Structure 1
Amino acid sequence: MNLALFDLDHTLIPIDSDHEWGEFLARTGAIDATAFRKANDEWFAHYQAGTLDPVKYLEFAFGTLSKFPRAQLDAWHAQFMDEVIKPSMVPAALALVQKHLDAGDLVAIITATNSFVTEPIAKLFKVHHLIAALPEFDAEGNVTGRLAGTPTFGPGKIVHTQAWLQEQGKSIADFPQSHFYSDSQNDIPLLAAVTHPVATNPNDKLRAHAIAQGWPILNLFDAHAQ
């Protein structure tokens, strides 16, 4: 058995699911569109630049979720999946994940985006293991607005991956091959920790690093764009 880890946004799907979720809420009128879009765009710019404070961002995201009962959030999310996520799914990305599943690899998606947004997306890829930022829930299942645990961002992805594997009595070193697919320089720490790092639809910073390190570069979205 080998290990196959995947980032999600801009790696398996050609969008940022967290940013698009905010845009969806703005379009539906659930939140003040002008104010939220300004803040959402600023957070997204920080993420792209590698200057994001993950705790502050997650508190912002969870604070938005906490304004609504869980039943309403779930209904909106189902609509979000139909209108935004499913149309963005790329056959090449689905096939890549399926290749690792068919090989009997241990497969997980590890993303800085929170589990509320990403859990249904992971299920579309038939991936049962999701490592994501966790919102805190109250006794009724509503989001409190606080982060449960620590962010799954940058070096935090190594910490969370190691903890997840340890729960199963394993470590990265136990696998003959360990793969990680990501688009962002934020994930260089985990990419450097596996035997088979793959810069997948990489941004400019990761592309330059991958070329310098001799890492393979994979473009899943090229055929989709054609």
Structure 2
Amino acid sequence: MATLKKLKSWFYPVTPFTIVTILGIVIAIQSIYIGLTYESPMILYPIMVIPIVVFIFVMYVLDRFFIKSTPYYIIFVIELILSTGGYVGFKYMNGTNDIHVNTNEDYILVIYNAKENSMNNFKKTDLFSKELKLNENVIHLNPSLYLDDDIRILPPKSWKGGFQNIGKYHFDNDSIPYLYISKTFSPTEQKHIEQQFIDSLLSQIYHK
């Protein structure tokens, strides 16, 4: 009976941290499964998630300590504010702007020469995340997005790896940034990762 009462004290009364801790444990188990099942870089997922869940569990231990001596409504309000702030902060830190590219070509060429604000074409998918879906392999973006870590160019899911080249193309006394992504490192596609091939693509675009 004493054991049952002790076990009950870990879950009752229910506070916001009770829900957060349970969800955290579920997410931690899921992250371990993903990390062990899928290939790199998914192994980084549990490495990032587990320390956060451990911190949440420590906070929940403190919750169980203070719940015995502090009025319930005070604990509830404080934890609700902390949980909401933590959720918003987590979403902000992990917000991304993804460009999903669907193409049958073996390469993707992103040229940062668009004059309009490219972010106007993105659609909101989350609190701090947006996405843009394209069915073309030559993409024009605003120069302000060049080397922006918040912008992710996502090739077709069928691509297993690839080669990336970041550089600048010189045309009419102008230096135009670009990002080139090739589907494969295969020797049979060697020409697709040579600088001469990339320059020829850019030349065709600018000398039409």
- TM-score normalized with structure 2 length: 0.23
**Which structure has the higher relative contact order (CA within 8 Å, separation 6+)?**
1
Structure number with bigger Rg: 2
